[in-house]
Each structure stands twice: as C-alpha cells, then as structure tokens.
Chains A and B, each alone.
Chain A
C-alpha cells in the first residue's frame, strides 16, 4: 500500500464531534471516508489513538465494510447495480461496456483519477433495472450504448 500524506486536521475535526469510544468507530470512519474520499493510513492511526481502539481493529473494520476504501478514489464514482433485478435485465453488459470505454473494471480507478467503477448489490431502484449511478445521478433502464452520455452529462435524464 502506497503512503499518502494528508492533512490530519480534518480527521481531528471529525473526531471532536463524537464520543471517544469504540461505538463511534464506524460513524467516524464514514465521515473520514467522505472527507478524503478514502481512508488514509495516517488518519486510521489517529482514529485508533483517539477512540482508544487497537489499530488492528480499526483496520479490520475498514476492510470489512464495502463503504470504505483504503486507496484514493476517482473524482466520480460510477456504481453499477448487480442486484438480482438488474442482473436479469442485463447489468453485466454495462460493466463490460465500461471496461471497454474506460479500461477499468470493478473496484478500479482510471489513471487520470477521474472515475472509479464499483459494483453494488441493489440500490433499491429495482423497478428501473438495470440501474447505473454516476456521482449522485441515477440512470434507470441504463443501456450500454448510452454510457458515454451518462458519463459526460452526469445528470439525470429521461430514458423512456
């Protein structure tokens, strides 16, 4: 794992908002993830010290939950739903098309750090399967042929 130097004042600010106890760990890590877009190693050490939780435990929680990433993520996260409804309506073709267009597969980030591709298991919009989320925009009935549009515009549009 590469070492990424970061400014820890954000971590301290987050930690100051929660009681210094183990029960705060996941909520703190979620805020840290949101703030840096990943969990920097130095921040994990600071969290472990402050909450008085062994570093190994912090690391085990960081790797157990899918919401956390230990490597820097792209500016925009692309999520492709692989839930059952999306699977049987062709979600796999979306992943393949992204691989062709961006050259990266699930859990990978493009070299220019623009996009990280992720697969998720159901985002609760199954009625519009298959679903692809670019940043904060949901695209229902997503089609491989429209992927460039989804990536370029990055805003909701009507597909019907």
Chain B
C-alpha cells in the first residue's frame, strides 16, 4: 500500500499489529552475534521443528537482535508471559516445548539466578540487569525481528517520520532536536541540533548525511547491536536528519568486522523502499532520500570524521586539520552531517515524543539516556541503556552484579583508546560527558571495561599504546613517532629496565603529543597513560623501584609458586600448563619448576584451592646470589 497521509500510516500500523492477532504468544530467541556464537540459531531451528512435530500451532517464533544479556545466552523469552530462559541449548528444546509450552510449567533450572542472593528470577523485567534500564536508542532491540519491517512498525518505528512528513516543517524537526539537547553518542558529545543547523545553513545545493558505524573502540559494541537488532531506528533517524538539513543522499559506514549488521541494514533499506519510506517522494511529501552502505576496510582511524569521509570517497583514511568543518566541506567537499549510530537511533523517538520529553531526562548538560557495553571482569556482561547521570557504582555493582569471582575492584576503563581508567574513589561520580572528562577519561563509544586486582595498570596503558601504534595513520610526526617512543618506554617498565627518568620521559612525550598531533587520535592517545599515572602511580613506581608487578601480570617481573598448605594435589594446574613445568602426584603437593615456567598464569586461573600465588621474580635471583 502507498502511504500518503497520517491516516494511511496508522492503518499500516494497525494492520502490522493485527498480523498476529489470535496467536497464543511469541517466543523470542535472541540471535545477536553473542547468542549466535552460543548456538541460538540451532535453538530457534529446533524450536520450529519441535512445534511442527507436535502439531502446536498459534505460537510465533521470532529471532531478534541482541537482548543485551550476552553472557547468559542463548536467551529465550516468552511473550506475553514475560518469562526468560537463559543458556538454552538445542538439546533442551524438546523439554522446553513439552513442559513450558504444552503444560505451562516453568523449568527452574533455566531461569536466571540472582548471584546476590541465589534466588531464581522468573520475570524478564524483574532481573536487576533489565529492571534498572531505560531504553530509548535500544527501544525495540530484542523485541522485534530486525528483518521484518512490519514488526518494527507495529512497535512504533517510522512514527516519528510520519509525524515529521505529515505535520512538521524541516525547521520544526530541527527545533525539536535542538530542544532535546541531544549530544553526539560517538565520543566527543557535540550538540546534534547545532551541527545540523550549521549544515543546513551552509552554502550549496547538494549535501549528505552519514551514519558512523565504524565503532572502533575495543570493548564497545552498542552500535553493532543497534544496527543488527533495530536497523530501522537508524534509517528513520537519518531520513529525519536529511529532511531537517535538506540532504537527499545518505551513507552508512559500517565496520568490516560486522557482517550481520551489514546484512540486516541492507534488508531494512530494501524493505523501507518497498513501503515508500526511502526513495523518491517519501510518503507523498515530495521529499526524496536514498541511503547507501559503505563497508569500512578495517582501520580504527576511519572512525574519525574527516578520515571516514576520505574512506567513503575511496581514499586512504587520513584525517585533516579540525579548522575545516565537515558541515561546510565534508564528503566530496560538500556540506555533511556525520552522526553516530546511537545518535541517529535516538532521533525518531525524540520526534515522536517531543524534544522536551528527552530533555527532561539526564543531567544538566547531558540529556537523555546512554548505551553502554559492560564488559571485562564483571559478573553480568552485556549491553545496557541508562539515564545519563547514573553512578559508576550503580552500573558496575547493581546492574553488573559486581566483580567476577568477587575479587577486589581496581578500575573501570571508559572511552576506549582515547579514554582512561578510573579508580574506586571515582565510583560515586555520575556518568555524563563533563564528569568523565573532568576525571581524566571520556564517554567515547560507551565501552566500560571493569578491571580487578589481577589487572596491571601499566600493562593496560601499554596495551592501548600498542593498539594505537598499529592504528595511527602515520600522517603527522608527533602521533606516529610519539606512540613508538612511548611503547619503547613502556617496554622498559614492564621488562624491569625502568627508572625514574623513564616515567619523566613518558610524561614529556605525552605532553608533546597532546600539543602537536593533528587529529584527536594522537591528541587523546596519552589519556590511558596519564589517567593511570594519575590514579595508580604507586603501581608504576613498584615496576621501577622494586622491579615488581603488584598485580602479578607483567611476565618478566612475575614468578608463580604453590602454597604447600593449600594444595590438595588435584592436578588441575598440570593439565593447563602449556610448558608442562608443574609436577606432583595426584593428591600430593605440586611444585612449579621456575626455570621452565613462562609466567603465563594459566595455572593461577584454574586452581580451585587458590593455592597458586605470584611473587616478584627478582626474589628468585636474590636467592641464588645468597
């Protein structure tokens, strides 16, 4: 059907909603990348087969995008009952069909167990991981089948678009975004309305809108989940943005590592064409807009705005100086709006509900909600969306369930390679753009990596330098050479050659890079180093002064031994040691041969008695001298 009026759109929506009328409910199987890796496709297939074999009709099996609770996948949810099963295996499916679907019984074993009190939780919405969230950008993820546009429409997709095209002028759309106070979700937090207005006011008749789906920050995967799980939210946002600024061409730049996102976006674009939401004369309004997908080539720097535009133009992704604004001269030197995936995904909801609605949430300067990926040494890893201003403690301990194996919390890393590591003393800080920057970190792409006492902060800083040495585009000297020098200096630290001067040289190099680098990659590269120096200086000093790694991670400085009083001779360590340097008979004390040990820590991680401990390697040398 062609849609040329609000009434026709409403009609489409009610038809979409009525498709499953009379059904006895839906079974949602999460098929995000995480759950797929755990075999959720097989779970969905055996569910269909089992229902067919038993002649059960009236149930709809829906494969959805990521529910966020990746750690517990494959996830299966029952609607309208609201029950969630975790870690469902294909082999369990017959039991699920027989007990839960045929008899309405709940299988206790498959319910989520609250690690805080050991209680089983039946209802999806009561699980602390979900209960504390507020989802706007991710409003439909996990609820809809991302490959079925009508399913999205039934849940409100394109409602904002219909409202805009039938009832609002481009100026009014822009005003609502300005009122909302929305800021970019890709890192720097630039005001979205202001960016759009600059582009709209720029000279020229051809302009572009671009979606940044490069998501290069390691540890962040919110954009992947949005593109995979609700591609329509991104497309709707882009059409609205294009309408507001007067663009007729759009690009979505997607990382090469995200094949499923590309497939689902392509399907969504085709379907949107078929229903007249893309192409010529959208909804009969006279407005035309097309979206093309551009696959990235696997370069972190291409997430940077000017490098990304070079890359779409088929060139090497080298950034240019900041004083040229891409809203004036962007893609092909024409006025361009570039926004992050999550930013675009939020726009449709803002137009539907009004800018004031969005601005009522969050903190004074950071409005609305923000998606985070909570990963690392935390119990509940996954994807969450929360109101801005939530404290780190609430995120890590209430939603994340605390540190894995109840080990002591050491730091949380935010903002990827441009961000920093925040210590325990910062946990009560509200999370917003200004707060994180003042603390020496960054919002970045919303990756939050929790670290425990078995994480060495010198090693973490070195890790990011190593990452950036590979990823620096090499165009400017401070970044290209500065990173290499910093990495050398850190190699000295982790291998026991560091002196006081090493730390001074590190600080001086960082200062030079901040001043002299061309783009934000180089300017912000010192952040992981400076934030760890600021909060964990004593750890650096231990590497220098005592030639010791307090976390027991830096291999050149660390040795392992077995506590005789704790070892029960279970053999677990001998099985995992890659060099076979642990000896001992079953039920007898085991010992590590220090000469052969490569300090990999594999045995430490598996010992059920916690009988394996680290100590500074230098003590071995001292003993020999005596």
Contacts and interface: CB of A to CB of B under 8 A. Distances in A.
B295 A27 contact: yes
Contacts of B600: 93, 96
Given A22-B314, A96-B578, A126-B447, A66 B298 contact: yes
B576 interface: yes
Interface string A18-42: 0001111111011000000000000
Contact of A156 (B39, B256, B314, B473): B39
A85 B455 CA distance: 11
Interface string A73-84: 000000000111
B218 A83 contact: yes
Nearest to A87: B463
Interface string A41-60: 00000000000010001001
Contact of B38 (A22, A64, A158): A158
A26 B376 contact: no
Given A125-B70, A140-B38, A88 B311 contact: no
Interface stretch (B189-197, B219-227, B390-398): B219-227
Nearest to A140: B37
Nearest to A143: B576
Nearest to B602: A93
Nearest to A123: B257
A52 B34 CA distance: 42
B463 A127 contact: no
B451 interface: yes
Nearest to A160: B87
B314 A61 contact: yes
B315 A84 contact: no
B313 interface: yes
B557 to A, nearest CB: 16
Interface in A87-105: 87-90, 93, 96-97, 100
B530 to A, nearest CB: 17
Contact of B314 (A24, A139, A145): A24
Contacts of B27: none
A23 B333 CA distance: 13
A117 interface: no
B256 A125 contact: no
B interface residue count range (under 10 / 10 to 19 / 20 to 34 / 35 or more): 35 or more
B575 interface: yes
A129 B37 CA distance: 12
B291 to A, nearest CB: 15
B37 A88 contact: no
A127 B373 CA distance: 8
Interface residues of A, number: 53
A30 B298 CA distance: 11
A85 B376 contact: yes
B316 A60 contact: yes
A122 B196 CA distance: 31
Interface in B214-254: 215-221, 224-225
Contacts of A22: 313-315
A101 to B, nearest CB: 10
B460 interface: yes
A144 B576 contact: yes
Given A84-B449, A138-B37, A27 B294 contact: yes
B179 interface: no
A140 B451 CA distance: 19
A85 B382 CA distance: 12
B357 interface: no
A128 B34 contact: yes
Contact of A158 (B89, B382, B605): B89
Contacts of B258: 124
A16 interface: no
A156 B37 contact: yes
Contacts of B471: 121
Contacts of A131: 37
A61 B219 contact: no
A129 B70 CA distance: 11
B111 interface: no
A145 B33 contact: no
B297 A84 contact: no
A120 interface: yes
A83 B381 contact: no
Nearest to A53: B314
B375 A127 contact: yes
Given A96-B600, A127-B71, A89 B376 contact: yes
Interface in B46-89: 70-71, 87, 89
B441 interface: no
Nearest to A83: B218
Q: Which of A57, A66, A145 has the most CB of B within 10 A?
A: A66
B316 A64 contact: yes
A124 B576 contact: no
Contacts of A157: 39
B299 interface: yes
B375 to A, nearest CB: 4
Contacts of B464: 84
Of B219, B313, B455, most A-chain CB atoms within 10 Å: B219
A145 B38 contact: no
Given A66-B298, A83-B218, A145 B576 contact: yes
A23 B217 contact: no
A84 B376 contact: yes
A33 B257 CA distance: 15
A78 to B, nearest CB: 14
A138 to B, nearest CB: 3
A153 interface: no
Given A25-B314, A124-B257, A83 B578 contact: no
Contacts of A123: 33, 257
B304 to A, nearest CB: 14
A130 to B, nearest CB: 11
Contact of B317 (A29, A64, A68, A137): A64
Given A26-B311, A84-B449, A145-B576, A128 B297 contact: no
Contacts of B300: 121
Q: Output the residue of A30, A68, A83 with the most chain B CB within 10 A.
A: A83
Interface in B489-548: none
Contacts of B71: 127-128
B297 A65 contact: yes
A61 B312 CA distance: 12
B166 interface: no
Of the candidates B70, B221, B255, B314, the one having the most CB atoms from chain A within 10 angstroms of its own CB is B314
Which 9 pairs from chain A and chain B are nearest by CB?
A: A65-B297, A83-B218, A138-B37, A127-B70, A66-B298, A25-B314, A124-B221, A122-B218, A127-B381
22 contacts: A29-B297, A61-B315, A64-B299, A65-B298, A84-B460, A85-B376, A85-B381, A88-B449, A89-B377, A93-B600, A122-B221, A124-B220, A124-B224, A125-B33, A125-B37, A125-B221, A126-B375, A127-B221, A140-B38, A156-B39, A158-B39, A158-B89
Given A65-B296, A67-B296, A88-B460, 13 more contacts: A61-B315, A68-B297, A82-B467, A84-B219, A90-B601, A124-B221, A126-B381, A127-B373, A128-B71, A138-B33, A144-B602, A145-B576, A160-B87
